[in-house]
Copies of this chain bind each other. A is one copy, B any other.
Amino acid sequence: MSPSRRLTDAHPTLATVAQRAGVSRQTVSNALNNPELLRPDTLARVQAVIEELGYTPNRAARQLRTRSSHLIGLRFEPAQEGTSNAMMDRFVHTLVETTARTGHHILLFSGDPADPLDGYDELLRATAVDAFVITDTYAGTPQADLLRRVGAPFVTFGRPWDEPDAQHPWVDVDGACGARLATEHLLEAGHRRIAWIGWEEESRIGEDRRSGWESAMDAAGEDTGGLGIRITDNVDAARMAAHALLEDPAVTGFACASDTLGIGVLHALHERGLRPGADVGVVGFDDSMGAQVAWPGLTSVRQPLEQVAVEIVDLLHTVLSLKPVLEPARMLEPTLVVRRSTQRS
């Protein structure tokens, strides 16, 4: 058995490479960061030694010198309103992959859930990260205010609800558009009295989505009176709300603010012996695992999370390069994933 080695052992440095290649340390540094400055043969020689020794620049030293850690901070919360865990996973994965393309990594940190600002300042003062991605913007954007104040680069996933003309870069998904898509889809299937089951009024995301339902109904000349319900995000609450609404046999469509709510409606239909799709159309929101496995399949609005991540990284690079941000606000459109809960046949 070979002796256990510590991480620190035997790491070649610039000096090792330089000596071996018969050049100065600076030349090796240039070979890495400004290869066009070297004569081709010198470059080749240096690169060969780098390869041979398996040399990788020490991050700490580089960071100390350049004041750039190539680390992007992301405060990692448990499930958030409007963003189920699995959604975060899709988002974060693309974020990791996309930032990796420019040698950046994601640094996860935690913070007191009661204090949306917790954690940011310390990482900043320690110069541990170059920038932040902020995801919990649904309750205002105090983090954005803080970071703007201290001049730290950041991009948010989520628009600044309370300050529509805040100048910071953000990417968001148009929830109203998603709900409109859902409602129009139900209208096309022949449903007229389409109910909305959404979240409490305090939820900005919830109200935004609801507005999409309203506008689609208005455009179709349908009355929404008594059809818009606000409840907590919970299967049973939705089940009971659906039962109440279904007392009126004219109600044959449900657009919901989440898959959880949509599944609650499905349960109510089941209990009433109504057939999802054939008798009553139901659309959820988020295209979560629940929507995929629910019986008989729940049509749902899917957010382009991968694209959100890509756009965020793009904005991040612009911000970090100190270039002016041409399009600091980017709204992406969700799509509808059709399953049997809205199919008549």
Contact = CB atoms under 8 A, between A and B. Distances in A.
A268 to B, nearest CB: 10
A270 B295 contact: yes
A127 B59 contact: yes
A69, A97, A289 — which one has the most chain B CB atoms within 10 A of its CB? A289
A152 B7 contact: yes
Contacts of A61: 60, 64
Contacts of A71: 107
A203 interface: no
A27 B126 CA distance: 19
Interface in A99-145: 100, 105-110, 121-122, 124-128, 130
A85 B105 CA distance: 20
* Residue of A90, A96, A124 most packed against chain B (CB within 10 A): A96
Given A8-B127, A108-B96, A263 B60 contact: no
Contact of A67 (B8, B57, B84, B292): B8
Contact of A295 (B6, B93, B267): B267
A124 B10 CA distance: 12
A284 B54 CA distance: 47
Given A5-B150, A151-B4, A289-B86, A58 B108 contact: no
Indicate how many identical chains form the complex: 2
Contact of A263 (B79, B92, B293): B293
Given A7-B67, A58-B126, A235-B293, A108 B109 contact: no
A93 B88 CA distance: 12
A149 interface: yes
A34 interface: no
The 7 tightest CB contacts between A and B, nearest first, are A5-B151, A56-B125, A60-B63, A85-B89, A60-B64, A106-B108, A85-B86
29 contacts: A4-B151, A7-B127, A7-B152, A7-B153, A8-B127, A11-B127, A54-B125, A56-B125, A58-B64, A58-B127, A59-B63, A60-B69, A63-B63, A76-B92, A77-B93, A85-B86, A86-B86, A86-B89, A88-B89, A89-B89, A92-B108, A93-B110, A96-B108, A96-B110, A97-B110, A263-B293, A263-B295, A270-B295, A293-B294
Given A59-B128, A266-B295, 17 more contacts: A2-B149, A5-B150, A9-B151, A55-B125, A56-B126, A58-B64, A59-B127, A60-B67, A61-B64, A63-B63, A71-B107, A79-B89, A86-B289, A88-B89, A270-B295, A288-B289, A293-B294
